[in-house]
Amino acid sequence: MAGHSDSSSSEKKSSEAMNDVPTFSTENMQNNMKVIYYSRTFMSIIGGVIAGILGFTGFMGFIFYFLVMAITSIGLIAKAKFSVHLYFDSWNRIILDGFMGGLMSFVLFWTFAYDIVHIF
């Protein structure tokens, strides 16, 4: 889908594959975190507009938000070529991080689009 592109540069390898003890380059880790954050924010805004245009109300809208977040997670995992441990230190980062952060933006743009389209 066209909406998936990471909104900034690609992720960098943050762990050495050679050591027995995993080490992480902090700078690259932070960069990867930022990429996740931007992607989620962007997707929640777009998702909000879509939800508003499609006319979701109530619960359906929140379920749609979780759907969008899940799609973002899958997109990020695919971008990391499924070897999450090379880029992040745990699975939780890429799946759960920033989940709730985009909620307010989603609601704002959802309300906005819904009003403009449906309550003309």
Stretch that binds other proteins, among 9-17, 41-49, 72-80, 81-89 (CB under 8 A): 41-49
Q: How far apart are CA 21 and CA 70, in angstroms?
A: 31
**DSSP, residue by residue, 25-57:** -HHHHHHHHHHHHHHHHHHHHHHHHHHHHHT--
Residue 99 interacts with other proteins (CB under 8 A)?
A: no
User: Which amino acid is located at 1 in the chain?
Assistant: M
Three-class SS state of 24: strand
Nearest approach, Cβ of residue 17 and other proteins (Å): 11
Nearest approach, Cβ of residue 6 and other proteins (Å): 13
Residues that bind other proteins (CB under 8 A): 7, 18-21, 34, 37-38, 41-42, 44-45, 51-52, 56-59, 61-62, 101-102, 104-112, 114-116, 119-120
